[in-house]
Amino acid sequence: MQQIHSFEELKEILVEQNRDKKDLEEIEQAYFYAKKVHEGQYRVSEEPYIVHPLVVAKILADLLVDKSTIIAALLHDVLEDTDTKPEEIKERFGDDVLNLVLGVTTKTG
């Protein structure tokens, strides 16, 4: 599996796929939100935690999934690992993203 270390690498893939500009902006907003709420968290490997959601988002982008699924990939651990509440995900990113995130969340606060 190819590693990815920055949003710019993911964005490059999405641009090559001719993703809609508005979709790219929403995906970027989700990335920066996830990066902010995961700030100070690290994986066992000592790399910043945000690298994990980036890798998941890249895997799904390579499968040509829709925007909501990529956003959910970036946010998939925020309910488990941060103080983020489901309502905040819904307000910022909509019902579809919230439902996807809830579907892969093992606890909600």
Annotated catalytic residue within 80, 83, 87, 95: 80
Q: How far is CA 64 from CA 1, 5, 81, 106, in A?
A: 17, 20, 27, 26
72 within 8 A of 100, measured Cβ to Cβ: yes
- 2 by Cβ neighbours in 10 Å (0-12 / 13-18 / 19+) ranks as exposed
Q: How far is CA 73 from CA 21, 27, in A?
A: 19, 10
**CA atoms of 27 and 73, how far apart (whole Å):** 10
Annotated catalytic residue within 81, 83, 95, 96: 81
Active site residue 8: no
Active site residue 80: yes
Report the catalytic residues. 80-81
